[in-house]
Amino acid sequence: MATIRKHKNGYRVQIYRNGVRRSKVLPTKRACEDWANRTIYEIDNREKLAVRVPFGDVMSRYAREVSPTKGGRHWETIRLEMLCRDPIALIPIGELSAGDLASWRDRRSAEVGANSVLREISLLSAVLTQARREWGLITANPMSDVRKPKKPAPRDRLPQPDELERLAHAAGDDLTTVTARAFHAFRFASETAMRAGEIVGLTRDNLDLSNRVAHLPMTKNGHARDVPLSSAAVDLIGQLPPDLDPVFGLTSRQLDVLFRKIKSRALVDGLTFHDSRAAALTMLSRKVDVMTLAKISGHRDLRILQNVYYRETAADIAARLG
């Protein structure tokens, strides 16, 4: 049964049915009664209804309701929009099987690398877990029975001095242009280990140049982070036009497109903007211990930092031991 009580914005209707609690504020009692009857029907018949809900609708709901609460919301939303165009989106979630997901994995593996497939598997698994735990649409996550692609060896690509010279020449040194600022952002990333999204979102309010700190209120992992700035990083900021805010005057889309354009002009192959992060952490690993390195980079899993970014060799360590 439903309970309806007067509320400052109309009426609040509450129901408790088969272990499920729901409530809503609506303007009239009639609207509350209609909502309660419909919701009780959905709860009583959720398994039957779930069979008819296309998986694409579930992914879209996740993009609307869950992704905005996460640090990687932009990436998630774009990926979910793309996944909604795949044939798997047409399958009712109640009929979705491990075999369907394995077929999607194989199709996707023919288009992108293993790391991309692994990230998308993790995203789809999160959607299905949400559908099981909180939305009650399924009783098991079929992704748990899907074999994951083998994780490739960590990427080992650093920008070389001659490449940096060619990139600088291709970008130009007029920082009133977006092209020059795109390479300037790469140089800044190579000093700070900040991600592209963190750099384009950096505002002057979040800069404390007297203490050489950049405050990042929201990062990829959903936590704030303070990034120490080298004197070279502070100098790079000082070279930018002072009226720009955000500091680099670029969007994520502009930075991606322009950096690709600069690479093409400079005849530099195989380098990504994210390789600047590896370059910075490689440089910083010679100056600080791995715990400090994690604090700078924002890594919460030291294994990733050690296996992927911490490049100091035994010979390097021996030289420091004396």
Active-site amino acid positions = 195, 220, 299, 309
What's phi and psi for 303, nearest 5 deg? Answer: -65, -40
How far are the Cα atoms of 121, 190, 230, 263 from residue 270, in angstroms, in the given order?
25, 17, 27, 9
Residues 6 or more apart from 211 whose CB is under 8 A from it? none
Tell how strand 225-228 and strand 213-216 pair up: antiparallel
On whether the CB atoms of residues 182 and 254 are closer than 8 A, the answer is yes
Residue with tokens 């729901």: 22
- For residue 287 the two structure tokens come to 């100056």
The two three-digit tokens of residue 199, written as one number: 């750099």
Distant-in-sequence, close-in-space partners of 144: CB < 8 Å, separation ≥ 6: 125
